Amino acid sequence: MSQVFDKLLDARGLNCPMPLVNARKEIGKLAPGQVLKVVATDRGSIADFQGWAKVAKSVELVGQETESTDGTNVYVHYVKRLA
C-alpha cells in the first residue's frame, strides 16, 4: 500500500527522540488535512509514533510500513495534521 503524502521527512540514521522531535516540528508547518511521511531507521519509532498520535490531539497516524532494503529496515510513518 502506498500512501499519499504532502511532505517527506528523512529521519534515517537519527536516534530516538529525534525522528519524533523533527516530525512534530514539520507537522506544524503543514496545513490541516496534509500528510507528512517520515522515514526512520530507529525501530523504536514504530511504537513511539503510535503512542504520540494517541496523546497529540491535532495529529492522526494514518499508516505505518516497514520496508527492507539490503537487510536494513526502514520504518515509514504517515502522520496527518488534523487541525
Question: Is 11 an annotated catalytic residue?
Answer: no
Q: Which three cell numbers stand for residue 31?
A: 496545513
Query: Looking at beta carbons only, is 4 or 21 nearer to other proteins?
Result: 21
Query: Looking at beta carbons only, is 28 or 33 nearer to other proteins?
Result: 28
Binding mask 16-55 for other proteins (x = CB under 8 A): xx--xx--xx-----------------xx--xx--xx--x
Distance CA 47, CA 81 (A): 19
Residue numbers annotated as active site: 16
